[in-house]
Amino acid sequence: MNAQPYLSISSEVGSALAAGRPVVALESTIITHGMPYPQNLSMAREVEDVVRASGAVPATIAIMDGRLCVGVSGDDLERLAQEGHKAAKASRRDMASLLARGVMAGTTVATTMQIAALAGIRIFATGGIGGVHRGAEDSFDISADLEELGRTPVAVVCAGAKSILDIAKTLEVLETNGVPVLGFGTDDFPAFWARTSGHKVDQRFDTADEIARMLAIQSDLGMGGVLIANPIPEVDAWEAAAIEGFIAQALADADAKGIKGKATTPFLLQRIFELTGGKSLTSNIALVKNNARVAAEIAVALAAQPAAPKA
């Protein structure tokens, strides 16, 4: 494999990686497809500020100008935010085609993990992972995020899986793929806007140092990714029953319009934004910033871990 000719790492991120300083990867479909402009640009800058304030270097990842870009900032970040839904939504299967065509694209969890691993970044903060869609027994709509977590050695900090998904089936697929699901200060797996889904995590850890030690061992053993579930702050959370009503309406609207495949999640998020009068977006931004903070704390702790003893 020779991905280096297609990889473009900013000088800030490159210097941090070379010096062994903590770096946190950030995805870009949340910018292009997760919320409207200019809120998406403000959110992206605020999330990067949270990472810096917690002692790490942010590395927003996207596909731009025929390159896998790690550390998108400045004018390029603004260009990405303005492109919005006109940009492609890149998963693993799309990468080579998008690079060949020079198409701008936001990177999903799966693609951000892949590019982060190529760059040598071990921690990634996102909002919520993709998963098994409701009705997948008929549609077979299962996010590539779940398989990527099983094979790519990057730890993903998220607020669980989006409430629009079938969370029970999502956790089953994660188990099948051998992905450890850790709870940061929680025994319950969160559901994005809600702090709990009614399902349990595999293991609970209460400090960044504890998780960093586990991640160091995971790496030493040559295993795949780890999912770190970090509940939305209580002040910004929704009651599960309240958000479920909006989700049901959004799902019905998607079905009526024939929305399927990778267009489903952006449509549902936008529809829920409309149904909640914008309040879902406020919660979304709050949970992303909270995840960025926790990811940066873990990245700092991981950078301080001693190297594994040589045999």
**pLDDT at 161 > cutoff 60:** yes
Per residue, what are the HEC states of the chain? CCCHHHEEECHHHHHHHHCCCCEEEECCHHHHCCCCCCHHHHHHHHHHHHHHHCCCEEEEEEEECCEEEECCCHHHHHHHHHHHHHCEEECHHHHHHHHHHCCCEEECHHHHHHHHHHHCCCEEECCCECCEECCHHHHCCECCHHHHHHHCCCEEEECEECCCECHHHHHHHHHHCCCCEEEECCCECCECCECCCCCECCEEECCHHHHHHHHHHHHHCCCCCEEEECCCCHHHCCCHHHHHHHHHHHHHHHHHHCCCHHHHHHHHHHHHHHHCCCHHHHHHHHHHHHHHHHHHHHHHHHHCCCCCCCC
Give the distance, in angstroms, between the CA of residue 10 and the centroid of all CA atoms in the same chain: 20
The reported pLDDT for the residue numbered 260 is 78
How much of the chain, in percent, has pLDDT values that exceed 70? 98
**pLDDT at 307 > cutoff 80:** no
Q: Which residue has better confidence, 114 or 264?
A: 114
**pLDDT at 56 > cutoff 60:** yes
- What's the pTM value of the predicted model, to 2 decimals? 0.92
* pLDDT per residue as tens digits for the range 213-264: 999 999 999 999 999 999 999 999 988 888 888 888 888 998 899 887 767 7
**pLDDT at 89 > cutoff 70:** yes
Question: What average pLDDT is seen over the chain?
Answer: 92
**pLDDT at 49 > cutoff 90:** yes
Average pLDDT over residues 15-25: 98
* pLDDT per residue as tens digits for the range 165-200: 899 999 999 999 999 999 999 999 999 989 999 999
The reported pLDDT for the residue numbered 239 is 84
Instruction: Just list the catalytic residues.
Output: 27, 162
Average pLDDT over residues 254-275: 82
Q: Which domains does the chain have, with CATH numbers?
A: 4-303 (3.40.1790.10)
* pLDDT per residue as tens digits for the range 283-303: 989 999 999 999 999 999 999
